[in-house]
Amino acid sequence: MSADLSPIDIAKFAAAKRASGFVEDGMRVGLGTGSTAAWLVKCLGERVQDEGLEITAVATSSQTAKQAQEVGIKVSSLNDVKWLDLTIDGADEYDDELNLIKGGGGALLQEKIVATASDRMIVIADSTKKVATLGAFPLPVEVLAFGMPTTQLLLEEMLNGLDVMGNKATPRMAGDALFVTDEGNHILDLHLGRIGNARQLALILNQVPGVVENGLFIDICDVIVTGYGDGTVETRDINSGETDTAQFLPEPVENVFRDAGV
């Protein structure tokens, strides 16, 4: 085991390695964005090289598309593929009902479109992402550049009447400039503390003018693959109710994904 890998890195690798086993030859696969998803792309690239695995991937960001192409994975667009067998992606938080907060990496719009255009969504995460109640992680909301300050005020006013602990919305920055998504939009991060009714909030957020999409993924995830620092992986299928465990430890490698984001 490489000394370069922290327990969190090992957990991310283990979850990605386990999830890569769900991918079968000929599948159309959505690939997520972030550091855990980057491990997945690496694992799938090894299967392409070692086993001759042939898949068509749809990436949820330009960053993931570039990495996938570099490891020999065929990348196409959702416009061409239209529907996917499987999407595998990370999460910033998930609860017992497999509701998610996503968008820490800024790709929530493409991630949600790709996930909902799939027969199944598998989420890969380290054990720190599991929470009793969503909301400690700031909830990303993708918004149009036009009227963004007004949208921010509308969101903060709307949150006052909902079952959340906070109502502060802050524009996401990239250095000294506003963060820009792949679609040319911006992101407001909502600092809620606790989300009492995630389903209600997801529906209401998208009614605010200027909001493109929010980072609450409700009733989308089918399977959660949770990695732990010792390489143990727990896989839970919410539809069948089945849970299994396994262990995956990485070969000594340089941790090239440390700066890839969450």
Binding positions for substrate are 33-36, 89-92, 102-105, 129
Token output for 213: 């999409």
Which residues carry a binding-site annotation?
33-36, 89-92, 102-105, 129
- CA–CA dist 123, 32 (Å, integer): 9
User: What separation in angstroms does the CA of 23 have from each of 27, 31, 81?
Assistant: 7, 11, 17
- CA–CA dist 161, 139 (Å, integer): 17
Task: Classify the C-alpha dihedral 51-52-58-64 as positive or negative.
Answer: positive
What Rg do the C-alpha atoms of the chain give, in angstroms? 18
- What residues are annotated to the active site? 111
Taking alpha carbons only, the member of 89, 81, 90, 77 closest to residue 28 is 81
Q: Are 32 and 125 in contact (CB under 8 A)?
A: no
Inter-residue long-range contacts of 78-84, CB under 8 Å, 24+ positions, other chains counted: 78/113, 78/114, 78/117, 81/28, 81/56, 82/117, 83/28, 83/117, 83/118, 83/119, 84/28, 84/29, 84/30, 84/58, 84/114, 84/117, 84/118, 84/119
Q: Are 35 and 257 in contact (CB under 8 A)?
A: yes
